[in-house]
Amino acid sequence: MARPGPRVRGGEPEPAPVRGLQLDRADRGDHPMSDNFYRAFEDRYRGSREVIMERLRAYLPFLEPLVAAYPQGRALDLGCGRGEWLELTSSLGFDAHGVDLDDGMLAACSARGLQAERGDALSALRAAADGSLALVSAFHLVEHIPFDDVRTLIAEARRALVPGGLLVLETPNPENLVVGASTFYSDPSHLRPVPLELLSFAVEYEGFPRRSLMRLQEDPALRGRADVTVADVLRGASPDYSVVGQKDGPAELLAGFDEAFGRHYGIAMHDLASRQEATQARHLEQTHARIAQVDARFPSVLDELEHQRQHIAELRQANHELDKAIHWLDGRLAASDARADAMAQRVIDLLESTSWKVTEPLRAAADRWYRLRAAVREGRVGAAVKRRVLRVVVAGGRVVLRNPAAKRIARRVLRAFPSVEEKLRRAMFQAPVVTMPSAAPPSDISPRTSRMIAALRAAQQEQQSAGRPPRVAEQEQPKA
């Protein structure tokens, strides 16, 4: 009975391998899929040879001491497929042979110079002499054959193995719930998943005292991660597993395998479940801590809410009072506007009345009387009279200065009254300053006028040099 051909490990189609999916053809050579279907399917979904070779290196802790104990030991791979296992074991020094019923797989092995032939798995194993094989392997075969044939294969392998020889049985891991419930059935030639405990017990029952349960191909990121989700529990367990059994042999030979059989391999679902429970416990503890913090703050929050409620009530009351005040002010403003309008209308009526127009002269006289009385009370009458008199005197003096005859008469009269002349002179000099023209006197004036202009300029310069601004009586140049 031959082992079906290809094995596919991986998850999604194209181009990455399908995690947990093993594709093998049926046990009988006349199966409808015994053509190159599996070769094409495996090439698409299994993954590159480099990826598969890297995965198979997980068995090196068992293979290295075995080839050291049995150099050039004969290895038989049941259902060798594309030959990755044959290539690995040959590179380590084994005399590796394989059997398969798929011509496409055998062609791939021949292209690489690997020893593979067409044949039935159990027939090839039965043909081996007792104690002639150092290694017997069957990758993803046991899920395709009845369990009684699995037991027969294990028993025949024990017979054919040398003392301390190894049996390797790899198969999909139904402990991974996605594999066991879904991807396992992607291969129509699969019969049923084989539980880990059942296959391990069968190897023990058929005479292999030493066994190792290897969980394989799990996501490396899950190995040391503390936080695990429910999705990780469902699909995170190792998608493949292998039972490695060792035939009894000399103690010194078996001691070389102690390290390999003492290791722990892969991730079990119960480990993920325990980590997920621990994750939930941590999250629950954190939640309780946050709830405790909220509980501790709750009284202060209630106090703050009560304070805010009271403050809101006070604001509402203040707003109500403000609305009332605004309403009252609106009423007062409306009443004031009405009174202002009434008073404005009364003023307009008054100004347009006949009595107002008739009494206008009387009001003007009364206004002047009130202003005069206020000026007398404040002492402003004398100064006002003096300013007015001064303006009259200055204006008269200017008129006299323009008239030579009047100016001569005024001089003769003022010589009789020196004090009056001095006062008039001071009054004239206190009149607004008139800056004398800087240009030369006109040529059409009399010599006497020219001399007067020169004298006035000299007096102005003298006053400027003395530190006070001159005030020259304004006069017009007499015409010649």
pLDDT in tens, 431-442: 554 444 555 556
Q: Which residue has the higher pLDDT, 99 or 37?
A: 99
pLDDT digits (tens, 9 = 90+) for 246-259: 999 999 999 999 99
The confidence score (pLDDT) of residue 423 equals 74
- Its pTM stands at 0.57
Q: Which residue has the higher pLDDT, 348 or 240?
A: 240
Q: What is the rounded CA–CA span in Å between residue 306 and residue 476?
A: 94
Q: How do the domains of the chain map onto residue ranges?
A: 10-267, 359-431, 433-480
Residues in the chain: 480
The confidence score (pLDDT) of residue 473 equals 43
The confidence score (pLDDT) of residue 60 equals 97
Whether 265 shows a pLDDT value over 90: the answer reads yes
Backbone angles phi, psi at 166, to 5 degrees: -115, 145
Q: Which residue has the higher pLDDT, 470 or 441?
A: 441
Whether 185 shows a pLDDT value over 50: the answer reads yes
Into which CATH architecture does domain 10-267 fall? Answer: 3-Layer(aba) Sandwich (3.40)
Confidence of residue 47 (pLDDT cuts 50, 70, 90): low
* Average pLDDT of the residues of the chain: 82
What is the mean predicted confidence (pLDDT) over 83-99?
Answer: 96
Whether 57 shows a pLDDT value over 60: the answer reads yes
Peptide bond just before 15 cis, omega within 30 deg: yes
Cα Rg of the chain (Å, integer): 64
